[in-house]
């Protein structure tokens, strides 16, 4: 059992079970016993699946963990229903636990198993270009201070905060060229930058 699993699932679940037991177990000890057995079976199988499926794609891994959490969270209200209404429903609550098991364990396991058989295309890593964007924006803003075409300056300022073009090396190259220009040549280069934005 991994440290993360103990910290995120096992210990909080034990705390909730002890709390619920202290508050409601005297209503029906049998309902509490069924609740504990079903809960520990879920935790055991969840931990077992985590230890055996380390090579999953992260998308499948998170889907499987989400379904396990939903399954666990549904067990708590089912127990509360059974403990307060035990005299009326008795062992009929087992149908609720069974339905939860069928939907969130059996069907979900088949679904995630089918997802593992799909051939995914390899995703490319996302490279953060925030520093490049900030640098390009700052440099372009300082160039705009010396530009003479006011209408062009306004058009660029309107796009400055939202342009994805400033995330590119092409933008950095054009801004480098613009830094060395003045007058009409600068305005011409700024028009080229504005069209690309």
Instruction: Compute the average pLDDT of residues 113-120.
Output: 73
Among 103, 92, 109, smallest CA distance to 49 is for 109
Separation between Cα atoms, residue 65 and residue 61, nearest integer Å: 6
Q: For 149-190, how does the pLDDT look when each residue is reduced to its tens digit (9 = 90+)? A: 888 888 888 888 888 788 888 888 888 888 888 888 888 888
The verdict on pTM exceeding 0.85 is no
Q: For 20-64, how does the pLDDT look when each residue is reduced to its tens digit (9 = 90+)? A: 888 887 777 888 888 888 888 888 888 877 777 555 567 777 888
- pLDDT on residue 67: 84
Among 63, 62, 66, 64, smallest CA distance to 74 is for 66
C-beta of residue 190 within 8 angstroms of C-beta of residue 154:
no
Report the 10 Å Cβ neighbour count for 56.
Answer: 16
- pLDDT on residue 113: 77
Burial class (CB in 10 A: 0-12, 13-18, 19+), 106: exposed
Q: For 63-100, how does the pLDDT look when each residue is reduced to its tens digit (9 = 90+)? A: 888 888 888 888 888 888 888 887 788 788 888 888 88
- The tokens describing 133, both together, are 């964007």
85: helix, strand or coil: coil
pLDDT > 60? residue 127: no
- The tokens describing 188, both together, are 């011409």
pLDDT > 80? residue 139: yes
Domain chopping of the chain, boundaries = 3-116, 130-196
């Amino acid at each position: 059992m991994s440290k993360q699993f103990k910290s995120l699932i096992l210990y909080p679940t034990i705390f909730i079970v002890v709390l619920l037991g202290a508050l409601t177990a005297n209503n029906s000890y049998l309902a509490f016993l069924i609740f504990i057995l079903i809960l520990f079976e879920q935790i055991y199988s969840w931990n077992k699946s985590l230890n055996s499926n380390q090579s999953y794609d992260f998308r499948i891994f998170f889907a499987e963990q989400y379904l396990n959490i939903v399954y666990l969270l549904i067990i708590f209200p089912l127990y509360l229903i059974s403990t307060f209404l035990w005299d009326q429903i008795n062992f009929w609550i087992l149908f609720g636990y069974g339905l939860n098991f069928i939907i969130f364990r059996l069907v979900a396991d088949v679904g995630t198993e089918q997802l593992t058989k799909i051939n995914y295309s390899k995703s490319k890593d996302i490279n953060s270009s925030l520093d490049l964007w900030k640098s390009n924006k700052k440099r372009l803003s300082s160039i705009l201070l010396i530009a003479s075409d006011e209408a062009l300056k306004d058009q660029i300022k309107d796009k400055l905060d939202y342009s994805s073009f400033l995330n590119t090396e092409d933008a950095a190259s054009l801004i480098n060229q613009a830094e060395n220009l003045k007058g009409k040549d600068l305005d011409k280069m700024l028009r080229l930058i504005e069209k690309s934005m």
